[in-house]
Structure 1
């Protein structure tokens, strides 16, 4: 099955949908995004302080100081 996205003028929308449905096309309604859900998810995002990020910087520096052993 193939999926197509078409833009139809409002005045012709009902007619085009009727014709397509008569041809066996399944028309799915577009889901409206719930902005409230997105806002809740964004509100749960944590903010890291400079102290939280120090651990990563210290680990990076320690890793860079490692010297490979020679065989």
Structure 2
């Protein structure tokens, strides 16, 4: 199982040290770029969920492409 944690910078080194002390946990910090990309994908998935549930209005793809 993979878990993504959002940790305050001031506590990050403590949490990383704690996690690395367990032999059954592998840690791998994300670069700022990868973190931003993951956050963007997460927001997009949340928006799609709201659109499918009818709680948010979507836009036709043609309208989106016309803007480009």
What TM-score do the two structures reach when normalised by structure 2? Answer: 0.40
What TM-score do the two structures reach when normalised by structure 1? Answer: 0.39
Higher helix share: 2
Which of these two proteins has the greater Rg computed from alpha carbons? 1
